[in-house]
Amino acid sequence: MVEHLQRYGVISSMKVAEVMETIDRALFVPDGASAYADSPMAIGYNATISAPHMHATCLQLLEQNLQPGMHALDVGSGTGYLTACFAIMVGPQGRAVGVEHIPELVASSIKNIEKSAAAPLLKEGSLSVHAGDGRQGWPECAPYDAIHVGAAAPEIPQALLDQLKPGGRMVIPVGNMFQDLKVVDKNTDGSISIRSETSVRYVPLTSRDAQLRGY
């Protein structure tokens, strides 16, 4: 999978390649699913796990903000795959936090992480996954150097902007029918710069009830 993404120019970073090889995607997809196919997959509860090329893209966009010792937040952490990747990158001195509003996914993601290379970080407490409304972020471990949002918001939630550290970067899909992956940089003076990276299609960032109803 990683070689394929490197061959097609999706992964140019050795660090990202290494992390995606370290965290085995097969541990984070439903049983019987073709784990390494480059496509998103349903994980139940009207949620999905992103395609490997989207995970690679987001990891590369955030790489400079996922250095050892840094703090990272994964909103809509789903099966826990990207949260585990973040934890490996920021290491035991850093902090990787997943927030997911479906409690059953939180419980299963913790089980997935326990089988993965990120298990020691979960045990030591530098990696954690919480049930909550990700639109509110996770103030307890803020501010964050890196924030990833795995569902499309109609606009960028203010709480997430507030929890982004000066010098930090957030990657978030924004839009309704038509969505762009936005790269949001908080400059050292606190001002915000936003650019569009690519067109994407994500499930909506919504309330738990709306998601379970099928939006």
Tokens of 146: 């890196």
Annotated active-site positions, please? Answer: 50
pLDDT exceeding 70 applies to what percent of the chain? 100
pLDDT for position 215: 57
Residue 97's DSSP bridge partners are 73, 128
- Once rounded to an integer, what is the mean pLDDT over residues 194-204? 91
pLDDT for position 32: 86
- Our count of domains for the chain comes to 1
pLDDT exceeding 90 applies to what percent of the chain? 89
Lowest average pLDDT, out of 37-46, 128-137, 139-148, goes to: 37-46
Would you say 107 and 148 are in contact if contact means Cβ atoms under 8 Å apart? no
Q: For the segment 69-118, what is each residue's pLDDT rounded down to a tens digit?
A: 999 999 999 999 999 999 999 999 999 999 999 999 999 999 999 999 99
User: What global pTM score does this model have?
Assistant: 0.96
Domain harbouring 39, CATH code: 3.40.50.150
Is the per-residue pLDDT at 209 higher than 90? Answer: no
Domain of residue 159, residue span: 1-213
Place of tokens 């067109």: 199
Residues 6 or more apart whose Cβ sits within 8 Å of residue 74: 82, 83, 86, 96, 97, 98, 99, 148, 150
Q: For the segment 164-190, what is each residue's pLDDT rounded down to a tens digit?
A: 999 999 999 999 888 999 999 999 999
pLDDT for position 142: 98
Place of tokens 């439903």: 30
- Looking at every residue in the chain, the average pLDDT score rounds to 95
Lowest average pLDDT, out of 139-153, 166-180, 198-212, goes to: 198-212
- Spacing of C-alpha 208 from chain mean position: 18
Q: Centre a 10 Å sphere on the Cβ of residue 69 and count the other Cβ atoms it contains.
A: 12
Higher pLDDT, 202 or 86: 86
Is the per-residue pLDDT at 51 higher than 90? Answer: yes
